[in-house]
Amino acid sequence: MYAVIFRAKAANQDKAYSDTVARMRELAFEKYGCLDFVAVTEGEDEIAISYWPDETAVLRWKQDHEHSLAQQFGRKKWYQSYRVDVVEVKRSYSFNPQPE
């Protein structure tokens, strides 16, 4: 089983961002086999974990055209994403935009 851990600054979220996140969760379950999803807010951070049967399901979801567009939109915000298997981090990503 794989988990994708997503961390974002809750203060940077607006309605469009929240709507996009909700759509990505729906897409993950309906089309790509996501098994479960949990989200919590810790201070100013939102931590979300989605669970997948295998890495192939995660990769198919990540390559979806709609998901790619959402990632481009999300890059205007601060977030980190990690893909984790049972014992090790398989991929990590950190994005910190420069102040405008």
**Topology at the third CATH level for domain 2-90:** Alpha-Beta Plaits (3.30.70)
Quote the pLDDT of residue 41: 84
pLDDT in tens, 22-78: 888 899 999 999 999 988 888 888 888 888 998 899 889 888 988 888 877 766 666
DSSP symbols for the chain: -EEEEEEEEGGG--HHHHHHHHHHHHHHHHHH---EEEEEEETTEEEEEEEESSHHHHHHHHH-HHHHHHHHHHTTS-EEEEEE-SSSEEEEEEE-PPP-
Indicate the domain borders of the chain: 2-90
